């Protein structure tokens, strides 16, 4: 009988019938989806399809017209962004995700501010294991780093806050394929350690090699959802909405 027992993955974020945008402008139309705990989920879709708007809506920085967003059973709509972060949702935005005038060390210390003194030392040590390159760049201004290194700093800051879930908006954008793979390898390690990840990405073929589950947006609507394998095998989705990159 054992093979019939399925342990349902706990749902961490539930978005239900979400209509959201900027002021009166509605960008997301009736989006319903879930992000499961300890899974690596990707949100795909062409330029302007609403991927960033979805991330920003979870963080409370768009206008929610209707619908609900629940995190661990708690309603996020109407809560301030700062509070939402404190609940354990770390967000790495698509642009301007590090302080370019601060050194790598100073950037990382911004991340650990929320931790106790004892926890800080351990966390910084762990971050250097996860992102070895950062140890070598400690004294350098983040603005002088390569795109890949900068993305590592942004991910490290997010991770250092000890979040329950990390939302990353196009962490591989503008990076050479080999560097992008390094970013995804780090994300895969985090997932193996039990982190819940939601990653927005444009390069479907690349991220589908790493993630568990995929949602595809098109013109602000949900166009597809399925496992990474189902998404890769769905020719209509891959060719029609995502290009063949
Ligand atoms: P990309 O792949 O280019 O990052 P995306 O899928 O993340 O695209 P969004 O940034 O969510 O797309 O944008 C969706 C739509 O919302 C676009 O038409 C965009 O012009 C519009 N939009 C984004 N930000 C704002 C804003 N602050 N005010 C008004 N409209 C906006
Ligand atoms: Mg975007």
- pLDDT for the residue 76: 98
Which CATH class name applies to 1-88+164-171+195-245? alpha beta
Return the SS3 of 150.
helix
Distance from C-alpha of 133 to C-alpha of 50, rounded to nearest angstrom: 33
Atom from ligand 1 closest to the CA of residue 94 = 4
- pLDDT for the residue 241: 67
Model's pTM, two decimal places?
A: 0.92
Distance from C-alpha of 97 to C-alpha of 10, rounded to nearest angstrom: 29
Whether residue 111 contacts residue 166, with contact meaning beta carbons closer than 8 Å, is answered with: no
Q: 3-state SS of the chain: helix, strand, coil percent to 5?
A: 40, 30, 35
- What is the Cα Rg of the chain in Å? 18
Distance 189 CA to ligand 1 centre (A): 30
Distance 104 CA to ligand 2 centre (A): 25
- Residues with C-beta less than 6 Å from any ligand 1 atom: 22, 25, 27, 45, 47-53, 94, 202
Distance 52 CA to ligand 1 centre (A): 7
- pLDDT for the residue 2: 41
| φ, ψ dihedrals at 232, nearest 5° | -65, -30
Strand 213-218, strand 40-44: pairing: parallel
The best mutation among 53, 65, 200 to test binding of ligand 1, ranked by most ligand atoms within 8 Å of the C-beta, falls on 53
pLDDT by residue for the chain (245 residues), tens digit each? 344 444 467 999 999 999 999 999 999 999 999 999 999 999 999 999 999 999 999 999 999 999 999 999 899 999 999 999 999 999 999 888 899 999 999 999 888 887 888 888 888 889 989 998 888 899 999 999 999 999 999 999 999 989 999 999 999 988 988 889 999 999 999 999 999 999 999 888 889 999 999 999 999 999 999 999 999 888 877 777 666 44
Distance from C-alpha of 218 to C-alpha of 46, rounded to nearest angstrom: 7
- pLDDT for the residue 1: 39
- pLDDT for the residue 202: 83
Distance 53 CA to ligand 1 centre (A): 6
Distance from C-alpha of 191 to C-alpha of 184, rounded to nearest angstrom: 10
Distance from C-alpha of 57 to C-alpha of 49, rounded to nearest angstrom: 14
- pLDDT for the residue 8: 60
Residue spans of the domains in the chain: they are 1-88+164-171+195-245, 94-162
- pLDDT for the residue 6: 42
């Amino acid at each position: 009988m054992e093979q019939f027992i399925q342990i349902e993955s706990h749902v961490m974020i539930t978005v239900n019938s979400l209509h959201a945008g900027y002021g009166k402008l509605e960008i997301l139309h009736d989006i319903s989806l879930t992000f499961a705990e300890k899974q690596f989920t990707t949100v795909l879709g062409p330029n302007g399809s609403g991927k960033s708007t979805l991330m920003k809506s979870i963080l409370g920085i768009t206008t929610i017209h209707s619908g609900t967003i629940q995190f661990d059973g708690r309603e996020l709509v109407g809560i301030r962004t700062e509070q939402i972060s404190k609940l354990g949702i770390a967000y790495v935005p698509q642009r301007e995700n590090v302080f370019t005038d601060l050194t790598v060390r100073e950037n990382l210390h911004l991340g650990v501010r929320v931790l106790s003194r004892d926890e800080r030392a351990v966390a910084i040590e762990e971050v250097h294991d996860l992102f070895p390159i950062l140890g070598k760049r400690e004294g350098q201004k983040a603005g002088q780093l390569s795109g890949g290194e900068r993305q590592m700093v942004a991910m490290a800051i997010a991770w250092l806050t000890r979040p329950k879930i990390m939302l990353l908006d196009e962490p591989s954008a503008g990076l050479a394929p080999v560097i992008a793979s390094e970013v995804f390898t780090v994300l895969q390690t985090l997932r193996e350690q039990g982190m819940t990840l939601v990653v927005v990405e444009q390069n479907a073929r690349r991220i589908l090699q790493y993630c568990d589950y995929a949602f595809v947006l098109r013109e602000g609507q949900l166009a597809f959802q399925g496992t990474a394998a189902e998404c890769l095998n769905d020719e209509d989705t891959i060719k029609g909405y995502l290009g063949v990159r």
